[in-house]
Amino acid sequence: MNLASSSSFSSSSHPLAPYGWDAEWESEFAPYTDQGCLPGRVVRVDRGQCDVVTADGVLRADTAFVTPHDPLRVVCTGDWVAVEPDGNPRYVRTYLPRRTAFVRSTSSKRSEGQILAANVDHAIVAVSLAAELDLARIERFLALAWESGAQPLVVLTKADLVPDPVTLAYLVQDVETAAPGVPVLSVSAEQGEGLDVLAAVVCGGTAVLLGQSGAGKSTLANALLGEDVMGVQAIRDVDGKGRHTTTTRNLLALPGGGVLIDTPGLRGVGLWDAGSGVDQVFAEIAELAEECRFHDCAHESEPGCAVLAAIDSGELPERRLESYRKLMRENQRIVAKTDARLRAEIRKEWKRRGAIGKAAMEAKRGGMR
């Protein structure tokens, strides 16, 4: 199909246009159009079912046909899907190939990844100024954001709690140092400060809101939506923490254009094969490493290490190197565990096939007697 050609689905007047439907998605969906399926975007998933916004409105659909053993291939919020044209219940036949995917490792010991949102253009990391900044946690979020393929953005919420502009400027600068190449905005949803800048950034695509519980995500989402859609719980003044106000991932069209996915507060943010994302977060270390004497320098005690030299000269904060080492070690562990799991599954499959072959051979021998 010629992507330059126009059609009802790619038209800005079509009901799916506010949710991100474009000519490329239309081209991907063409085979399912021929089969009579409806295109739609998943706005919510729970208990094996999902809400899908289509040209006919929001439909409830079953995901039983798309339930692989790999948790990274389940239907998730943000997916574009093909829905059966009729039936009770409706079924999601498949989802279209994802452009981006935000994935973290689960807290279980099974070394599995969990997909949080799909087809995201902007990953907004919300960080509350009601509590002391945790730069290492911000770096962790950003590593996953870069790995997803989305453009990260750090939003420092509750800026009205820091009335001194000089202090606020220093806080922004600290985050900028920990987030090279990432825009950092200070926002007060209560007073409306900075919201116009944020709305202008997210109006051109799909944004996902990420952060800990109490980071002000629901308040920020309500401010962007212009109405009280997400519930907001009171925050403890002593530590800036609060209860989860969002329990599912919800996709909502913004009045000024663009789409927003709000997520529950994330207690754990484990890396999932995010090596390139870590390198992106610590771009200055990767750049320095190119000057090391040894190409496989671990930046521990090797002679001619440009990274350690930068530490000694004060060019590179020691905290950054420690954070880099920690995230790299964690990522290497999860990759190793994942590879081990895959090898175990392959061996299990070989044994199963061997048993089938052995049984077939024995049956054949028995029939020849």
Q: What letter does residue 18 receive in the DSSP assignment?
A: G
| Nearest-10 crossing angle of helices 306-313, 318-368 | 150
Report which residue type is found at 262. Answer: D
Main-chain dihedrals φ then ψ at residue 352, nearest 5 degrees: -65, -45
End-to-end CA distance of the chain: 61
CA distance 202 to 123: 10
pLDDT given at position 331: 84
The three-state secondary structure class of 195 is helix
Give pTM, 2 decimals: 0.80
CA distance 367 to 369: 6
pLDDT given at position 211: 86
pLDDT given at position 264: 75
pLDDT given at position 120: 95
Main-chain dihedrals φ then ψ at residue 264, nearest 5 degrees: -65, 160
One digit per residue, pLDDT tens: the chain, 369 residues?
333 333 444 456 778 999 999 999 999 999 999 899 999 999 999 888 999 999 989 999 998 888 667 778 889 999 999 999 887 778 999 999 999 998 887 655 555 778 889 999 999 999 999 999 999 999 999 998 998 899 999 999 999 999 999 999 999 999 999 999 999 999 998 888 999 999 999 888 999 999 887 888 888 999 998 876 554 444 433 344 444 444 467 899 999 889 999 887 666 677 777 788 899 999 999 999 999 999 888 898 889 999 999 999 999 999 999 999 999 888 888 777 766 665 566 566 566 656 666 666 666 566 655
DSSP per position, 337-363: HHHHHHHHHHHHHHHHHHHHHHHHHHH
Report which residue type is found at 318. Answer: E
Q: What letter does residue 17 receive in the DSSP assignment?
A: G
